[in-house]
Amino acid sequence: MVTQATPRTHPLDPLSADEIVRASSIISEQFGSPESLRFLLVAALEPAKGVSEAPRAAEAICINIDSGLTTEAVVDLDAGAVTSITELPGVQPPALFEEYERAEAAIRADAGWRTAMSLRGLNDQQIDLSFIHLWPTGNFGSRWETEHRILKGIVYLRDEPDDNAYGRPVEGLIAVVDLAANRVLEVIDAPSPVPPVTSLRFDHDHGGPHREDLKPLDIIQSEGPSFTLEGHLLRWQQWQMRVSLHPREGLVLHQIGYEDNGQLRPICYRASLAEMVVPYGDASVGHYFKNAFDSGECGIGRLVNSLELGCDCLGEITYLDGVVTDERGGARTIKNAICIHEEDVGLLWKHTYRHPDERGSQSWLRRSRRLVISTIATVDNYDYGFYWYFYQDGAWEHEVKATGIVQTMAIEDDDPQVTRHKIGQRLAGVHHQHFLSYRLDMEVDGRQNTVFEVDTVPLPLGPENPYHNAFTAQATPIADESLSGREVNASAGRHWRIANDSVRNPLGEPPAYVLTPGATVSMMADEQSIIAQRAAFARKQLWVTAYDFAQRYPAGDYPAQSEPGLGIPEWIDSNRSLEQADVVLWYTVGMNHLVRPEDWPVMPVQRAGFSLKPWGFFDRNPGLDVPQPDHCEHDIERRTDLQAHHPHNSHS
């Protein structure tokens, strides 16, 4: 294991701990150093594209916990001065860790809540040992949501502090907490089933008896990995990029490029998870409001795990630390926040030639390996792994792995299981979906790109298709933002080609990359629903917009308790041209989760993602220069007796 130092060497580097503290101190002094000032985000303010020399700047989101007023500030760290302050009355930023703690304490001290628990037959010891899960509320138009900064607390029972509390929900009991006033506004107590009798733990002592037939699996690179990491600059094979952790977006990649014949060719300026929403599909009082924006309402980066060798990452690992604000103006370092390593992934390419005139064959083969850059974030009951993969043939992919504990509800034994599925005695898992919006600021061989929607379609019957078997790739440009908002069409093999028409490859065609969807799903909430209007990005799989530095988050900068229509719906109203333009792609990964018994008490990983592959970016297979494996005797003629199994040559 190697822990890499992270000196500031580039304008796109994240803030160091010292820079976070300095920026916070400058802002605090500007406000007169009030005790009520808190910092939700302090991050590097990235310079404009193409600007290599710019003042080192920080952007910050602050909140006064007494007044509830949110303020944005920008600090010039070189000059040591605040350069802008913007007050945002009515805006709700993510809840502070401190606010979560105070909200739980307020609920436990509330006489109305304790009475509601007692009326359910619970004694003081059971009440005090209960687990309170605090949720963002959304905005359904209630006066609590429109006039207060709030969280909702739902309750689970435990017999001991380490219990899997989600096994014993106190169904229908919700406390609404005002975070500024630090008091319970309302206790909602709806009639509900009796919670299950016992929870189900899944730690080592409760998961057995354990399997005894697993042999050791060691990954050894005796000469070390094939990549280099200098600060945040990562080089591997022909790939080059910058790697960092953002407090809101989590893992961010900048300036992804590929070295081709000595020239570093740009592909993507910035790639990140821009937003994420998890809408639940049950209309009961304890679940209808569950539609958390895990990035904008929580901050994926500040919830990233410290990864452990042999557990989260296996092999010859290099780590990068992450640094975020501690909310009072200090800095918090997340050790080993980003994991970087190589993996063997089977074949890169292979061909076997069978000699037509004699028994025998000749084979050529190369094994593939990939570079893996990953983080894991825990957002309450769910854990998400985010993995960027880079390959030796110029392709790259993203995969999200969802695991953790599903949201549960107490049910009657004869529950019809329409919007949930039974996973235990009087216990169900609620149907829900996960939508993750990835922001891909593309620059394929430069910043003048056009996105084409490509469908595979049959040719009309006629002279060009006399045998009824001919088909073609039909490419339609997404010419302006009125055409944005595209959907996956698996039957047509739909994908999207990002091409640079101002450049030509040796074959006379524009170089391009194609974005190919992985497994995905449409949003089940009706288009008129509150969540579909607040998370409009999730209603389609692909949006394309013209680049604007201020347009970073597809559901708006502040989705907590937000109004409908923010973000992408506002932006595309401008109907900007997208042909040979500086374009940004917003790709939505959709994950359907109809909970099954095997997802309890902790769910196996569920995967989804997308890929990007070169399309005319190279004039031949870029993996031809990969050397053959040392232990492999291919690229030589092999004589084998194929006659018994293949008496005739076959063609496919």
Per the listing, tokens 């001991």 go with 160
The SS3 assignment for 644 reads: coil
Confidence at residue 200, expressed as pLDDT on a 0 to 100 scale: 80
Q: What's the rounded Cα separation, in Å, for the pair 544 and 512?
A: 16
Reduced to 3 states, what is the DSSP secondary structure of residue 165?
Answer: helix
What's the full length of the chain, in residues? 652
| Model confidence pLDDT, tens digit, residues 608-630 | 999 999 999 999 999 999 998 87
Give the pLDDT of residue 332: 97
Structure tokens at 141: 């138009």
DSSP 383-444: EEEEEEEEETTS-EEEEEEEEE---EEE--TT---SSEEEEETTEEEEPEEEEEEEEEEE-T
Whole-angstrom Cα distance, residue 78 to residue 83?
11
Per the residue annotation, which of 156, 280, 382, 389 is the catalytic one?
Answer: 382
Tally of helices (H runs) and strands (E runs) in the chain: 7, 32
Average pLDDT, integer, range 369-392: 97
Handedness of CA 22, 26, 27, 32 (dihedral sign): positive
Q: What is the pLDDT of residues 292-304, one digit of tens each?
A: 999 999 999 999 9
| pLDDT (0 to 100) of residue 651 | 38
Rounded CA-CA distance 381/419 in Å is: 20
Region 205-230 average pLDDT:
88
pLDDT band at residue 208 using 50, 70 and 90 as cut-offs: confident
239-246 vs 233-236, strand pairing mode: antiparallel
Q: Which residues pair with 38 in a beta bridge?
A: 63
- Give the model's pLDDT for residue 635: 53
Asked if 557 is an active-site residue, the reply is no
Distance CA(287)–CA(133), nearest Å, equals: 12
pLDDT for 359? 66
Q: What does the DSSP assignment read for 509-567?
A: S--EEEEEE-S-----S-TTSHHHHHTGGGGSSEEEEE--TT---TT-S--TTPPTT-S
> What one-character DSSP code corresponds to residue 483?
G
What does residue 309 show for φ and ψ, rounded to 5 degrees?
A: -65, 135
Q: What is the pLDDT of residues 542-579, one digit of tens each?
A: 999 999 999 999 999 999 999 999 999 999 999 999 99
Q: 384 and 356 in contact (C-beta within 8 Å)?
A: no
Amino acid, single-letter form, for residue 43: A
Query: Is 60 exceeded by the pLDDT of residue 320?
Result: yes
Give the per-residue pLDDT at 105. Answer: 98
Is the pLDDT at 330 greater than 50? The verdict is yes
Which amino acid is it at 244? S
Inform me whether the pLDDT recorded for 652 exceeds 50: no
ω into residue 209 within 30 of 0, thus cis? yes
Q: Residue 531 pLDDT more than 90? A: yes
* Model confidence, pTM: 0.94
Q: Has residue 634 got a pLDDT over 60? A: no
Interval 155-198: pLDDT, tens? 999 988 888 889 999 999 999 999 999 999 999 999 888 888 77
Predicted confidence band at 643 (pLDDT cuts at 50, 70, 90)? very low
Q: What is the pLDDT of residues 466-523, one digit of tens each?
A: 999 999 999 999 999 999 999 999 999 999 999 999 999 999 999 999 999 999 999 9
What would the 3-class secondary structure string for 83-114 be?
EEEEEECCCCCCCCHHHHHHHHHHHHHCHHHH
**Mean pLDDT calculated for residue range 11-29:** 97
Q: Among 294, 383, 441, 445, which one carries the catalytic annotation?
A: 294
| Residue 358 to residue 504: CA distance in whole angstroms | 45
Active site residue 294: yes
CA distance 230 to 242: 10
Residue-wise over 466-496: b if at least 16 C-beta within 10 A, else e?
eeeeeeeeeeebbebbebbbbebeeeeebbb
Distance, in Å, from the CA atom of 273 to the CA atom of 295, rounded to the nearest integer, reads 8
**How far is residue 187 from each of residues 107, 115, 183, measured CA to CA in Å?**
9, 10, 11
SS3 of 245-267: EECCCEEEEEEEEEEECCEEEEE
Q: How far is CA 283 from CA 252, 288, 292, 435, 535, in A?
A: 36, 5, 15, 19, 18
Residue 638 has pLDDT above 70, yes or no: no
Is residue 582 over pLDDT 70?
A: yes
| Residues 453 and 478: beta-carbon distance below 8 Å | yes
Question: Confidence class of residue 33 from pLDDT cuts 50, 70 and 90?
Answer: very high
Average pLDDT value for the chain? 93
- In this model, does residue 411 exceed pLDDT 70? yes
Sequence-separated (6 or more) residues with CB below 8 Å from residue 340: 227, 229, 234, 243, 317, 318, 319, 320, 371, 372, 373
What mean pLDDT comes out for the span 142-149?
93
Cα–Cα distance between 10 and 588 in angstroms, integer?
A: 30
